[in-house]
């Protein structure tokens, strides 16, 4: 029987991405729901790394298995790196992204391109059954565009402009996005860390 790894998310989209990238480790990757785990998690860290570790440890405390968790968000330099760890909660958790995105565009109104630098950040934490904790963090660098563009992706993708590709991250197809994205890169880095830790 394959060893199990629990990924601390309720998000099916993320789980699919993770299964694709970590598939070769030979572990069965299951969600918290599939593992029968329900823990209230307070994401009160001030960095992406802290939040990822908080989530991974909270779930690991309920399971005798390897647990992975992620935390991600958007940093806009001109806004002192807002919304940052509050990306999902920015302007209210239930506020549609059309509105959140427009609010960011409005706050950058009149700001020239060179000052619109931004990045998506993703931290992944792994809590190993022996108590060790591994963390990786990667970014996707770009600019805040001048208007929303594209239908793919989610969240802040329509306003995140990639100059090398001359499009927004909502205009990339899913495979391109996985290759370039903060989450794809952090997951691939975690795969290497897990291999180094002897988990395959
Ligand atoms: P969480 O990591 O699931 O807590 O999500 C953090 C939030 O960051 C998401 O709800 C989005 O608002 C934003 N975010 C993270 N990654 C991306 C991305 O790849 N595209 C667009 N928005 C993202």
Q: Give the pLDDT confidence of 2-25 residue by residue, as tens digits.
A: 788 999 987 877 888 888 888 888
Q: Which one of 70, 71, 94, 106 is the catalytic residue? A: 71
Q: Which tokens belong to 129?
A: 């059954």
Cβ(36)–Cβ(12) below 8 Å: no
Q: Give the DSSP H/E element, type plus range, for residue 167.
A: strand 167-168
Q: Is the dihedral of CA 176, 172, 16, 85 positive or negative?
A: positive
Alpha carbon of residue 6 to chain centroid? 16
Q: Which of 10, 45, 69, 72 to mutate to test the pocket of ligand 1 (most atoms within 8 A of CB)?
A: 72
114 CA from centroid of ligand 1 (Å): 23
Mean pLDDT for all residues in the chain: 93
CA angle 114, 95, 82 (to 5 degrees): 35
For residue range 20-58, list pLDDT tens digits in order.
888 888 889 999 999 999 888 888 999 999 999 999 999
**173 annotated active-site:** no
Given a cut of 90, whether residue 97 has pLDDT beyond it is yes
Mean pLDDT of 62-66: 89
To which residue do tokens 């790394």 refer? Answer: 49
Mean pLDDT of 81-106: 97
Given a cut of 70, whether residue 1 has pLDDT beyond it is no
Q: State the pTM of this model.
A: 0.94
Lowest mean pLDDT among 24-38, 40-54, 77-91, 181-195: 24-38
């Amino acid at each position: 029987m394959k060893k199990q790894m629990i990924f601390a998310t309720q998000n099916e989209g993320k789980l699919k991405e993770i299964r694709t990238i970590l598939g070769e480790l030979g572990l069965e990757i299951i969600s918290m729901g599939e593992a029968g785990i329900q823990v209230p998690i307070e994401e009160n860290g001030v960095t992406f790394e802290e939040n990822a570790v908080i989530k991974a440890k909270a779930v690991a405390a309920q399971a005798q298995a390897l647990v992975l968790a992620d935390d991600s968000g958007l940093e806009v330099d001109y806004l002192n790196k807002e919304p940052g760890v509050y990306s999902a909660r920015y302007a209210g958790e239930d506020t549609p992204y059309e509105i959140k995105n427009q609010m960011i565009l409005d706050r950058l109104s009149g700001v020239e391109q060179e000052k619109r630098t931004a990045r998506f950040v993703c931290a992944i934490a792994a809590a190993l059954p022996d108590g060790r904790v591994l963390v990786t963090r990667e970014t996707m660098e770009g600019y805040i565009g001048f208007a929303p563009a594209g239908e793919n992706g989610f969240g802040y993708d329509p306003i995140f402009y990639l100059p090398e590709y001359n499009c927004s991250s909502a205009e990339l197809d899913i495979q391109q996005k996985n290759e370039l994205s903060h989450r794809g890169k952090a997951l691939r880095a975690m795969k290497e860390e897990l291999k180094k830790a002897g988990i395959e």
